[in-house]
Chains A and B, each alone.
Chain A
Amino acid sequence: MQTRRIRWHIAVFLAPAVLVYTAVMIFPLFNTLRLALFTEVDQARVYVGLENFRTLFFDPIWSEQFWNALGNNFWFFLIHMLVQNPIGIALAAILSHPRLRFAALYRSAIFIPTILSFVIVGFAWKLILSPLWGIAPSMLDAIGLKSLFAPWLGKEEYALTTLALVSVWQFVGIPMMLIYAALLSIPEEILEAGEIDGITGASAFWKIKLPLILPSIGIISILTFVGNFNAFDLIYVSQGALAGPDFSTDILGTFMYRTFFGFQLQLGDPHMGSAIAGAMFAIILVGVCIYLFGIQTRMRRYQL
């Protein structure tokens, strides 16, 4: 046995990353959870245990807002799962077709909305859907559907769905790219073997390709989940911190921002803000755990 000297270089290599990551990410994360257990009385911090969470979940004023934001957030997520991911998969399936011309061009063009900021996307759609400007109604008019037009962003019953669809428009590129990559990695021999057995075209997609890309679909689902449950920017840009009309587009991100910073007459409350952050943390954690232990480990993986 030889005594090993301390290898300082390992510490030097690790130190900057670990320090920044711990100080700016991990420590604030736990500190936020800790702050959720306090409240402010006469400008002094007082420990109140889980009181803030009780207020958040059961106090009529708070709980109504919280459940509203949570429900809206689930609807927002559901639309992404039902619209964004199937469109992304369909586009990827077409793009991965061998000998398709201009595939690179289509791929780059469809990805453009994904690189734009929420500010651009939010305002651009706000202008286009605006009844003042009239682009949306006149386009619907051109195909004879003018009666369908409504100021979607201003109506309580449509606003959230409209915003979710705008967000889908923006982010469809991500599932498209990830699924495209997964489809390209399927070996040609497998598809040829299927062809010999008479499985071609659409049935080749459903019977051979889809089972093989299920792990990637799992990944885009969890990415969508995490992304949606800390979304904020698009709603803030197009509807403001009040997430109007009448809080119908309020999601957890905007609710937390409003609580933390205050708005109009309500003062900001960092402790209630932390409690909401704690709830968001728990929701995301549950989602990630369901994915990691419930879905990922049970998914059948095929050796390619």
Chain B
Amino acid sequence: MNKARSNPLNTAAMHGALILYTLIALFPVFVIIINSFKTRRAIFREPLALPDAESFSLIGYQTVMKQGDFFLYFQNSLIVTVVSLTFILLFGAMAAFALSEYRFKGNLLMGLYLALGIMIPIRIGTVAILDLMVATGLVNTLWALIFVYTAQGLPLAVFILSEFMRQVSDDLKDAGRIDGLSEYTIFFRLVLPLVRPAMATVAVFNMIPIWNDLWFPLILAPAEETKTLTLGSQVFIGQFVTDWNAVLSALSMAILPVLVLYVIFSRQLIRGITSGAVK
């Protein structure tokens, strides 16, 4: 046992520092949520008090439900996120398999080409992306967003997945080949199930930035029927800026789905980051 590293005074100081920072991290979220359940008077009079029988009110939520089409926005966000993730995983895994499994002319070059996008943000190309979407008639459709997010997610997905696919045993694949399986069957039946943990990591990494993005919905799909939840709440809050009940309720409603996703996936996310997938 090493005494030097478990001094009780040190332990207390460490917990103190962590608790302090945890409070700083959670305080704003906490204040927004408790105040969304209070009357306007109570919001201003005692912003830090929990809602009680007298100050409890759902007026903000009623306004949000009446005025904003949050279910539609939510549905749009969900479609865009799920379809983009599916494409990123499927296309990314296929390309990663080609790069890690076969030796062909230009393999290294192709790998470098696909890796370019890891460091260069796709936003730089926005002007021409908008041109492209206008030319193909995809402006104000969810497809515009899906394509952009797929392209944005692919470079890192290919990079991470091909690292993992190199570790899949060759004997297994060769055994499959001897049994007469096609290369496609080997990929879908043998390799994909083995890299599932890496796929989950890629999915979780991409999920949050896609769900939270404001730039591309604002530029490519600002129409009412294609607004995502992020853009929808931004516009809604901008319009209701003086109605504090509505603003606080809209913020709480935007926080909720992300928080639920986080509670479900946080283990996966943290394991993904700490497993060194991004090193």
Contact = CB atoms under 8 A, between A and B. Distances in A.
Are these two chains actual partners, yes or no? yes
B206 interface: no
A134 to B, nearest CB: 7
Nearest to B250: A123
A-side interface mostly: helix
B72 interface: no
Contacts of A13: 94-95, 97-98, 187
Contact of B274 (A125, A134, A180): A180
Interface string B19-49: 1011011101101100000000001100110
A261 B218 CA distance: 11
A123 B247 contact: yes
A78 interface: no
B60 to A, nearest CB: 13
A116 B255 contact: yes
A190 to B, nearest CB: 14
A108 interface: yes
B124 A120 contact: no
A32 B104 contact: no
A146 to B, nearest CB: 16
Chain A, interface size category, equals: 35 or more
A35 B132 CA distance: 13
Contacts of A24: 122, 129, 132, 147-148, 150-151
A32 B22 contact: no
B279 A216 contact: yes
B-side interface mostly: helix
Nearest to B150: A20
A117 B256 CA distance: 11
A251 B183 CA distance: 50
B32 A119 contact: no
A48 interface: no
Contacts of A21: 114, 117, 151, 154-155
Contact of B270 (A9, A107, A124, A261): A107
Given A25-B122, A28-B125, A277-B124, A20 B151 contact: yes
B121 A119 contact: no
A16 B237 CA distance: 39
Interface residues of B, number: 96
A184 interface: yes
Interface stretch (A58-66, A96-104, A155-163, A242-250): A96-104
A17 interface: yes
Interface in B256-275: 258-259, 261-262, 266, 269-270, 273-275
A118 to B, nearest CB: 6
Given A9-B184, A13-B187, A117 B18 contact: no
Contacts of B273: 177-178, 181
A119 B119 contact: no
Contacts of B120: 29, 281, 284-285, 288
Interface stretch (B50-58, B166-174, B195-203, B208-216): B208-216
A230 B123 contact: yes
B125 A25 contact: yes
A35 B120 CA distance: 18
A260 B28 contact: no
A214 B179 CA distance: 49
Given A95-B18, A108-B270, A112-B262, A117 B230 contact: yes
B234 A237 contact: yes
A237 B214 CA distance: 9
Contacts of B132: 23-24, 27-28, 31
A124 B28 contact: yes
Given A20-B147, A113-B25, A284-B119, A195 B125 contact: no
Given A32-B124, A123-B247, A115 B98 contact: no
Contact of B4 (A25, A124, A201, A270): A201
Contacts of B113: 26
A116 B258 contact: yes
A51 interface: no
Interface of B: 2, 4-6, 10-11, 14-15, 17-19, 21-22, 24-26, 28-29, 31-32, 43-44, 47-48, 87, 90-92, 94-95, 97-99, 102, 104, 110, 113-114, 116-117, 119-132, 147-148, 150-152, 154-155, 158, 182-184, 187, 208, 211-215, 219, 230, 233-234, 237, 244, 247-248, 251, 254-255, 258-259, 261-262, 266, 269-270, 273-276, 278-279
30 contacts: A13-B187, A17-B94, A20-B151, A21-B114, A24-B148, A24-B150, A28-B132, A29-B122, A31-B128, A94-B14, A94-B17, A112-B262, A113-B29, A115-B261, A119-B234, A124-B29, A127-B32, A128-B31, A133-B47, A169-B24, A169-B25, A177-B270, A181-B279, A182-B279, A184-B274, A185-B276, A201-B5, A233-B215, A237-B214, A273-B126
Interface of A: 7, 9-10, 12-14, 16-18, 20-21, 23-29, 31-32, 35, 87, 90-91, 94-95, 97-100, 102, 104, 106-121, 123-125, 127-128, 133-135, 138, 169, 172, 177-178, 180-182, 184-185, 192, 195, 200-201, 216, 219, 222, 226, 230, 232-233, 236-237, 253, 256, 260-261, 270, 273-274, 277, 280-281, 284-285, 288
User: Considering the complex of A and B, which 6 residue pairs feature the smallest CB-CB distances, nearest first?
Assistant: A28-B125, A117-B212, A31-B128, A28-B128, A17-B95, A24-B151
